[in-house]
Amino acid sequence: MTLRKPLGGALAALSLWSAAVSVTPAAADTIASKIEAQGEMTYLKVAGLRQAVRNELLTIQAEVANDNEGQQTLYYRFRWLDADGFSVWDDEAWKPLLFHGKGRQVIQAVAPTPRATDFRLVVQSPENSTAPASTW
């Protein structure tokens, strides 16, 4: 098992990782470099992000928080990249995730191929975005 570089966040309290994997948080600007927001999202924010390699596959865990009292829907998908930033897999379908007021949820994903050594989490939320919603 190879440990990949950690990405910052508030996931330290979550016990979703096995004891064999030790991941420490890093700076918030590192999180921003992994997120592609389609439109400026006002209420939904990626609060934490981690990555590790398990069984030769990149594994991602992202915590998303809703800062609003109301219900919000997040649409997300992952772009899987190689070390040079080239795509190594077809675009995934958009996945919806419903958030209740002030709620937090964890998104987990595993790369579809060992060639994926990097990723981008692409997110959008038409309910709280300043940009027009795209077609999925």
Q: Please, what CATH class does the domain formed by 28-118 belong to?
A: mainly beta
Residue 32 is classified by DSSP as: H
Q: What's the CA gap between 48 and 111, in Å, rounded?
A: 18
The per-residue pLDDT for 29 is: 67
Which residue(s) pair with 121 in the sheet? 35, 78
Q: What's the CA gap between 109 and 116, in Å, rounded?
A: 12
For the entire predicted model, the pTM comes to 0.73
Rounded to whole angstroms, the maximal C-alpha distance in the chain is 44
pLDDT-based confidence at residue 40 (cuts at 50, 70, 90): confident
**Domains of the chain, residue spans:** 28-118
Percent of the chain residues topping a pLDDT of 70: 72
Mean pLDDT computed over 116-123: 96
Q: Which of the residue ranges 5-14, 17-26, 67-76 has the most confident prediction, judged by mean pLDDT?
A: 67-76
Nearest to 133 by CA among 62, 73, 59: 73
